[in-house]
Amino acid sequence: MNNLPQIFFNNSELYENKTLFGFKINSNWEHLSWKQSADLVLNISSALHDLGVKKNDKISIIAENSYKWCVLDLAIISLGAITVPGYTTSNKEEISYLLSHSETSIVFTNEKLLSLVLNILPCLNKIKHVICIDDVNTTKFEKFNINFYTFNQLLNLGSKSHVKKIIIQSFISKINETDVVSIIYTSGTSNKPKGVMLTHKSIISNIVGANELVSEIKIKNHKFLSIIPLSHAYEHTAGFFLPIYIGAEIYFNENRDQIVNDLLSVKPTLMTAVPRLYEVLYRKINSKLLTKNKFSQILFEKTITFGTKKYKKIKLSFLEEVQNKVLDKLVRRKFQKNFGGNLQAFISGGAALNEHVGLFFQSLGIKILQGYGLTECSPLISCNPINNIKIDTVGVVIKGLQVKISNENEILIKGSSLMKGYWKDKKNTDKVLLNGWLHTGDLGSIDDDGYLKIFGRANEMIVNSGGENIAPVPIENILLSFEEIEQTMVYGHNKPFLVALIIPNENFFKEHQSNINDLKEKFQNILNTVNQNLSQTKKIRKFILSNEVFSTDNGQLTPTLKIRRHVITARYKDEINDLYKKSFF
């Protein structure tokens, strides 16, 4: 099978009445079988054909995760058209750029974003149809000079189409492995987003490589809980096409506040997420622990201590071994039940996992497999194998890829998972793809066991006034291991020393905001502790406190929750400059 729809329809016949999608209606879980899902895909695909969709047409999906999102994606690519995912958190300018630059002809969106999309239509002359995935009254949109449908209207149209019976034979069979399947726009931490062209071959190669890792987990029927936006290449491959490939079930979390409840009801075997989720869970668990009695706290602390020793291969005494086995039943098993009881591993990607947080979960019997990827590589590059985790690395390179480190310590990638290039951007394509090697812009090393370690982004490196290169992320991760710190950014480019912008934990800030001097002293004490283990040039000399969180709304976070350093630096320009005035450091 050389294209993604072939894999889906082949598995639809194989698994037929087995559940593929799980979703909530009025807080109750409903299910769609593989057979039902395949029928929906054929209906939507037929309707799109009748609306005039042709091979290589660009069709955008800007909506929350749902079975409809997946059905639409499969329907689009079944015609040889190209899916262009967008983030629901994007603002008007970002959505307008995505639709215009990609030359999108049809937009699928939700009711919430419908007005925004319709309002920017006058600037977009290539849009022919707007389709709302929710049921809305279509008559109120007649004033817009556009063909407007709902998802259900499209289903009805497709069910009557004469092409439904020939989609697989006449369209899917003619899709080549080198055809572009999606254009996924990068988050754009510094420059304008670039449209990464991924092919059927690149994504299939990636899921085959990922499956090598999954196959080490000895379980037959996998369940995934989907929480990362499907517009993210990470979730698009690892949380959608990988489950399709291995015949797994996919359940959709609708509300981040309900993740714990969904874990308990779905009982997933695997879940992909960004480090931010694990940090939030880590803090919630520790806060809850403070409300427990002293005996429970001691048991928990002992569990962490013994688990840490086991991970670091420090031999336990006979008595400690006995106690550790007892703690398996009293603490770890109970802790694992909070995540449904069947969870084999969390998979972490999209940003650096805090080593302290990873070790915490590992010690409690919940494995976090930190991986590394780039949209330009479909996206997975490496991941920790479940039976041999090195928390401070991003694991071993997946099958089908080669990795080498340049003389400048840049990570270079070669293999079938690489993108075709950037859409309408030959200049940047030629910059990153040289002689078949993708120049990632990430700095790293490979240890004796073949594990990859990331130092940071080349364009994020701080070069101080002494000419020394300093990676800010490792320092930021140390700061984030303190419960009192919610978010942080380290700064010091062309400066004599480093400073930090600190966003305090909301509850901690409320407790101490009445005494600002006391609050500053507490954070100074944290910095003093951190600085003890840092070299002279990496010490944080001064800091700024702010209760304005980094978010997608204020533009300080990308849709994938990476910090936009240039935006944050511009916002706090005056405060940062003040830190360097009259300094004797």
Distance CA 563, CA 554 (A): 11
DSSP code of 577?
H
The residue-averaged pLDDT of 45-64 equals 97
pLDDT in tens, 81-106: 999 999 998 888 889 999 999 999 99
pLDDT > 70: percent of the chain: 97
Average pLDDT of the residues of the chain = 92
Q: Which residue has the higher pLDDT, 318 or 290?
A: 318
Identify the pLDDT of residue 189: 55
pLDDT for residue 583 is more than 60: no
Identify the pLDDT of residue 378: 97
Of 161-175, 501-515, 563-577, which range is least confident?
A: 501-515
pLDDT > 90: percent of the chain: 72
Q: Are strands 82-85 and 58-62 parallel, antiparallel or unpaired?
A: parallel
Tell me, rounded to whole angstroms, the distance of Cα 45 from its chain centroid: 28
The residue-averaged pLDDT of 319-345 equals 94
pLDDT in tens, 254-268: 888 889 899 999 999
pLDDT in tens, 159-208: 999 999 999 989 999 999 999 999 999 876 556 889 999 999 999 999 99
pLDDT band at 301 (very low <50, low <70, confident <90, very high): very high
* Exposure string for 389-412, b = 16+ CB within 10 A, e = fewer: bbbbbbbbbbebbebeeeeeebbb
pLDDT for residue 363 is more than 90: yes
Q: Is 273 exposed, middle or buried, given 0-12, 13-18 or 19+ CB atoms closer than 10 A? A: buried
Report domain 461-579's class: alpha beta
Distance CA 391, CA 473 (A): 16
Residue 561: closest CA among 274, 237, 227: 274
Identify the pLDDT of residue 560: 73
Q: Are strands 195-199 and 180-185 parallel, antiparallel or unpaired?
A: antiparallel
Select 4-272's CATH number: 3.10.310.50, 3.40.50.12780, 1.10.10.10, 2.40.110.10.
3.40.50.12780
- Which residues does residue 223 pair with via DSSP β-bridges, in sequence order? 249
The residue-averaged pLDDT of 110-132 equals 90
Identify the pLDDT of residue 584: 41
> Does residue 78 contact residue 169 with C-beta atoms inside 8 Å?
no
Identify the pLDDT of residue 89: 86
Q: The tokens of 268 are what?
A: 């997933």
Q: The tokens of 382 are what?
A: 């490496």
The residue-averaged pLDDT of 535-541 equals 92
> Does residue 108 contact residue 89 with C-beta atoms inside 8 Å?
no
Query: How do the domains of the chain map onto residue ranges?
Result: 4-272, 461-579
Identify the pLDDT of residue 225: 96
Identify the pLDDT of residue 234: 93
Q: The tokens of 562 are what?
A: 């990476």
The residue-averaged pLDDT of 274-288 equals 85
pLDDT in tens, 548-567: 999 988 889 887 778 889 89
Identify the pLDDT of residue 439: 96
The residue-averaged pLDDT of 31-37 equals 98
Identify the pLDDT of residue 190: 57
